[in-house]
Amino acid sequence: MMERWNVGVFVVLLSIIPTFPLSAQTDARLIEALRLAQSGQVDSGRAIVRRLLATLSPGDSVFPQALLAAAKMAPDAPTVASNLNRIVVEYGAGPWADDALLLLTQLYFAQHDPAQTVQAAERLNRDYPDSPLRPRASFYGGRAYFELKNEARGCELIRQAQDGAGDDVEFKNQVSFYAARCSPPATATTTNTTTAPPTDTGAKVQPPAASRAYAVQVLAVKSAAQVDDMLTRLKVMGFEARVVRDSTGFFKVRVGRYATREEAQRAQTRLKQRVGGQPFVVDEP
């Protein structure tokens, strides 16, 4: 199968593994390079990327994007891995590191290297807990753990993938196939015990505090067309977005329901980097 690497990793991976929502390239030159490569003009696409990497400063925001494009068009697996690992190591705080880790997870899985697969998947889970790409990485990581005979951890990751599958029916079906080999997670056993009513001491018992959630608001407009455009952009980038309409008629586009403000703030940073504008964290009941 190795002779197929000369047409580029994007062909190899997509011929073996289902598609997934990576972040969209934003630089017009890279978009054109990928278009050429996908239309069969791989050498022309690579030439554009090589020129960019030779002229751009490593501190330029386009540089990691160019590395990602170079990885997708690389002629062999070692070059793919080298470019992707460079993004993870040198640009780990940027918006492209989780994309690189997911591609590494899939690359290693396609190479039948379960140890490297789980290492990349676990790093994405650990270092980028708010990434919308985690379910995909968990899916391949879980399958790799099965190969390593670690059923317990494999099932944990498969359940994570199942929980994060969203509305992607094809992906849900793929995950469900592997989830069938996992027993349902253990639940706490309750016993019927009779407890005496609390003694009235005169103090009022406070009800438990209502759980709170946090989201990131990306847009608030009255134009449905603008809303549709933003939802499409967010979906392409891998974010699960929804629309909330308030009493004044504004459509508010929001991303996520996070358990803590810190998680929402990490997502806010990523949205600011990828989408622009002024996204902000909001409380939700």
Full-model pTM: 0.63
Q: How far apart are CA 175 and CA 117, in angstroms?
A: 17
For residue 120, pLDDT over 90 is answered with: yes
d(CA 37, CA 46): 8
Domain regions of the chain by residue span: 2-179, 213-284
The identity of residue 162, as a single letter, is Q
Q: How far apart are CA 142 and CA 282, in angstroms?
A: 33
- In angstroms, the CA 266 to CA 144 distance is 28
Sign of CA pseudo-dihedral 162, 168, 169, 171: negative
Q: What is the mean pLDDT of residues 203-229?
A: 70
Distances (CA, A) of 244 to 166, 210, 237: 18, 21, 20
Structure token pair of residue 233: 């952009």
User: Which CATH number does 213-284 carry?
Assistant: 3.30.70.1070
Alpha helices in the chain (DSSP H): 9-16, 28-38, 42-55, 62-72, 77-90, 97-110, 114-127, 134-147, 151-163, 169-179, 224-236, 261-275
Choice between 201 and 80, residue whose per-residue pLDDT is larger: 80
Q: What is the pLDDT of residues 91-101, one digit of tens each?
A: 998 889 999 99
**Domain 2-179, CATH number (from 3.40.1010.10, 3.90.850.10, 1.25.40.10, 3.30.70.20):** 1.25.40.10
Report the pLDDT value the prediction gives residue 243, as an integer from 0 to 100. Answer: 82
Q: Is the pLDDT of residue 19 over 70?
A: no
User: Is the confidence at residue 164, as pLDDT, over 80?
Assistant: yes
- pLDDT value of residue 194: 46
pLDDT tens, residue by residue, 154-163: 999 999 999 9
